[in-house]
Structure formats: C-alpha cells, structure tokens
Structure 1
Amino acid sequence: MVVLHVKSPDAEEETEFLYECAASTAVGDVAAALGALAGLQTRLLSLCRRLRARCADAGAAAVGELERALDEAEAYASKEQVQHNRFLSPRALREHIKNIEKKCATALQEPPEALDLQKSSSDNKHERIQLWWAGKELAMDHKLCDYIGINDKSKIVVKLTRARDDH
C-alpha cells in the first residue's frame, strides 16, 4: 500500500493527514476519498473551535464532558497524528462529530439544530479537488502508479487544491 501524506492548505489553517491506498488506484478515486476525508477533518476542527467559544460563555458544570470530547476530537484530527504515523478514519471522524453533538446538547441544554452544528462552510469546498505531487497536477483519468511507479511501499507527499473550472 502507498502511504499518502496529504497536505490541504485551508483558509483557517493547513491540515495534514495520512491516507493509504494501492498504487493501482485511479487518481479520481483517490481524490474523491481524500476530499471527503479532508472535508470531515476540517468540519470537525471547525466545530471544535466554534464550540470552545460557546463553552467559555456557558460556564456550566456539564461543560467538562463537552470539553473532554472536544479535546479528544481535536487530538484525533490534528496534524500531529502524521508524526506518529496514524491514519485518519472517516468513520472515526463521524463518530467524534456525533459524540460532540450529543455532549453539546447535554452541556449547553440546547438541541444541535439550535446551535447550528450541521452547518459548515467547508462541506462543499472539498468536493472538487485536484491532487498535486512533485509539482505536477495529477490527471483524474490516470492511475496513481502512472506517476509513482508500481512499488506499493512508497510514501509520497501530495497537496490538495480546489479544481479549476474550465468555463
């Protein structure tokens, strides 16, 4: 399996994570998976930032559990995981988001809808992305092995950018 060290420059902060796939995977499939993962990671980190501000204002005793859930989620989604060779899982990111929403409803005594937790400006930003490696834009209709070779024990650094519209 090829390990991709993914860097996603974001308006708020640069995010990084590790992703693993076969060298024979189509670039379009990899881009879709990376876009979804980057979107979840950005959504989770954004959610944590917004709720930290709310927790500071609330001051309730139940906020301790919410703070702990926010700490765990931020630690899981942080770019420090790359240094420890830990991969992000879309399932785990979704579970952290659900857990935070539950704890938030309990701690702040408001339903998740009232807190606008589902809204995220980054959700559609990662839908149409482009992969870059070694200064080259990777064509979506090629396979990853067309660029990096057939060695499945490679580790490469790729950068995600938004795809340009050709209109």
Structure 2
Amino acid sequence: MVLLHVKGKAEDQQFLYETTVAIGVGDLVRELVEIHNLRLRLQRLKMDGDDLAAHGPCKPPDKQGLDEDIQAEADGVTLPPRGPTYRKDPTGKRDGCAPVESAATTLRKALDDAATAASKRQVEMKKALTKRELMEHLDLVRGAVMIAYPMGLPEWDPVRMDLEEDEKPSDTPVGADILDAQTAQLWWAGKQMIPENKLSDHVGRNEKTKIVAKLQKKGGGAPQREAPISPEEHKAMMAYYHKRQARSISHWSPYDREEMKALESNDDDDYTNSAWANGNALKNHFSGVGNVSITGLGGRRGFN
C-alpha cells in the first residue's frame, strides 16, 4: 500500500492515508477531501460539545449574551426554579441546563476520543486514517448527545448543526478550511497531480512508496516549499551550537580573546585592497598587468 502524508494549509491539518498505485488521482482526491472535512467536523464538535456538556444548549440567537436574572429583575418577573444540574454560562450564550453528570461524562469521553482520532497525533503514531473510523466516532458523539438530551437540541445549537450538516458555508470562518471534492487539488514534488491520471503515473508502480502531498483549494498555486528542518529542530540546533561556542570560548587564551575583540571592532574596508578580494585577479594574471599601480591617490592601488 502507498502511504500518503497529506498536509493542508495549517500545521495541524495533516494525516496519513493508505491507498494503491492503481487508484485514479481524481478518486484519490475525493477520498482525501472526505477525510479532511470529517476531521474538521470532529474538531468543531469537540469545541462546541465541551460547552454543551458544561453549560447546556445554546439560547436563541436574539437572546444570546443577555443575563436572564438581570432581565427578570428589571421586568419584575420571577424565574421558575432551576434544576440541580444548572450551571450558568458566563458568556451568556447557553441556557445553563447542563446534562446530568453521568451523561456529561459519556459525552466528554466520546468527544475526546473523536478529537484524538482526528488530531495530528495520529501522524506521530504513524496511524493511517479511514473514513469508516471517523464516521464511527461521529456516530458515537451523536449517540452521546441523544443520551444527554433525549428530546433533542434546538435547531440553532452548533452541535446539532455539526451533526446534521456535512459542510459549513465557505464565507464563514468555520467553513474557510472546508474543501470541495470537485475543485480540490493534490500537489506532490512541486507539481499538481492530474485528476485523469493514475497515481502510478506520478509516483511509480512501487506499492511501498511513501510521499508527502499537499491538499488545497483550486487557484492557490504551487504550495510553499517546506523548510528542511522543523522549527523545533532549528531551536535545538541553535541551542546546541550556542553552548558549544560558549564552551570553546572559555578555553581561549587571553591573546585569542583580544584578537577576537579587535576583529569585531574593526569596521575598515582595508581588505578590499587584498588580492583575494579582487574580482579581476584572474584576468590581470593572464594579461600581465597585475603589478601596475598608481601613487598619489592615498596609497598604492592596483590598476585594473
């Protein structure tokens, strides 16, 4: 099986996928887009689901941000008694009707498992993703939500929308990273893979091939070339060589230290008169005019 390390626009948008060299590039792109969008969907569920387990469903859009206690006091109305699981949302976005603790624990566990399956950590564990696995986690979250709220969630609650809708509008911040299977592009080695070709036309017939490919929207151009080392490796190398230089300087003699200070403070351009700094040295050598000089111009200077 060919192992693809698929990367997206952001650093955390990457996963592993196994396929064969006989698959068409167009079919491969559709499969990768499905997994990419499913990962985003599970990540959204994790963020919205944690708030649901803590503070209950969302209020209607026209009441979000309003404090019910202050509003009831201003209107002279007495609010009905609240249940034992009431936990007020400090943001005023949710109604505070949290589920019972056992249902909330089940929901949090399903959300944590789904977020782990969709995280970048799977790449570090060298585990390839499948659509079936991600859909199973989505169903587990859906079941946990039904246990916590048997009567269902309001239609404006983001958890319900994440469970029912496969995609968000592209003009929203949430939908900005969602890809369209019909227009998405797959790039490898600085070139776009042609949808009409087989994968073997680009990577060869070896089933044990491993490649790093970029999945992105149409019109984005060639992906930016990746750095040869990661930022963490770069920091580690800088720290290592800084310590190494500090250790070597500690063993210098007083003369070497004075010499280094003199070199650091020397900003003159005397070196430009040296033979090794002359760009025409080779030409002068063969023309025989390398020793011609002019006096009276602040010193002897070579004539080119």
Given the two structures, how large is their TM-score scaled by the length of structure 2? 0.49
Query: Which consecutive residues of structure 1, in runs of 5 or more, have no partner in the other structure?
Result: none
Who is 2:54 aligned against? 56
Who is 1:8 aligned against? 8
Q: Which has the larger radius of gyration?
A: 2
Cα gap change, 1:153/1:35 in structure 2, threshold over 3 Å: closer, same or farther? Answer: same
Give 1:17 deviation, angstroms. Answer: 1.2
Give 1:124 deviation, angstroms. Answer: 6.3
How far, CA to CA, are the matches of 1:93 and 1:45 in structure 2?
11
Which residue of the other structure, out of 189, 197, 201, is the alignment partner of 1:146?
Answer: 201
Q: Does 2:124 correspond to 1:126?
A: no
Residue identity opposite 2:141 in structure 1: I
The 5 Å alignment of 1:1-167 reads 1-9=1-9, 14-58=12-56, 59-60=98-99, 61=101, 62-111=103-152, 114=155, 115-116=160-161, 117-119=163-165, 120-121=167-168, 122=175, 125-127=179-181, 128-164=183-219
The runs of at least 4 consecutive aligned structure 1 residues that moved more than 4 Å come to none
Query: Which consecutive residues of structure 2, in runs of 5 or more, have no partner in the other structure?
Result: 57-97, 169-174, 220-304
How far, CA to CA, are the matches of 1:112 and 1:88 in structure 2?
30
Q: Is the 8 A contact 1:77 1:93 kept in 2?
A: yes
How far, CA to CA, are the matches of 1:46 and 1:110 in structure 2?
22
Give the percent of matched residue pairs that are identical in Structure 1 and Structure 2: 35
Residue identity opposite 1:28 in structure 2: G
Give the SS at the match of 1:6.
strand
More strand by share: 1
How far, CA to CA, are the matches of 2:39 and 2:203 in structure 1?
26
Give 1:24 deviation, angstroms. Answer: 2.5
Give the SS at the match of 2:187.
strand
How far, CA to CA, are the matches of 2:8 and 2:164 in structure 1?
22
How far, CA to CA, are the matches of 2:16 and 2:151 in structure 1?
35
Cα gap change, 1:19/1:112 in structure 2, threshold over 3 Å: closer, same or farther? Answer: farther
Cα gap change, 1:112/1:19 in structure 2, threshold over 3 Å: closer, same or farther? Answer: farther
Give the SS at the match of 1:4.
strand
Residue identity opposite 1:153 in structure 2: K
Q: Is the 8 A contact 2:179 2:216 kept in 1?
A: no
How far, CA to CA, are the matches of 1:110 and 1:146 in structure 2?
53
Structure scoring higher RCO (CA < 8 A, sep ≥ 6) equals: 1
How far, CA to CA, are the matches of 2:154 and 2:6 in structure 1?
32
Given the two structures, how large is their TM-score scaled by the length of structure 1? 0.86
Give 1:108 deviation, angstroms. Answer: 3.9
Q: Is the 8 A contact 1:130 1:160 kept in 2?
A: yes
Q: Is the 8 A contact 1:3 1:156 kept in 2?
A: yes
Give 1:130 deviation, angstroms. Answer: 0.4
Give the SS at the match of 2:22.
coil
Measured on the aligned residues, the alpha-carbon RMSD in Å equals 2.2
Give the SS at the match of 1:160.
strand
Residue identity opposite 2:139 in structure 1: K
The number of aligned residues is 163
Give the SS at the match of 1:153.
coil
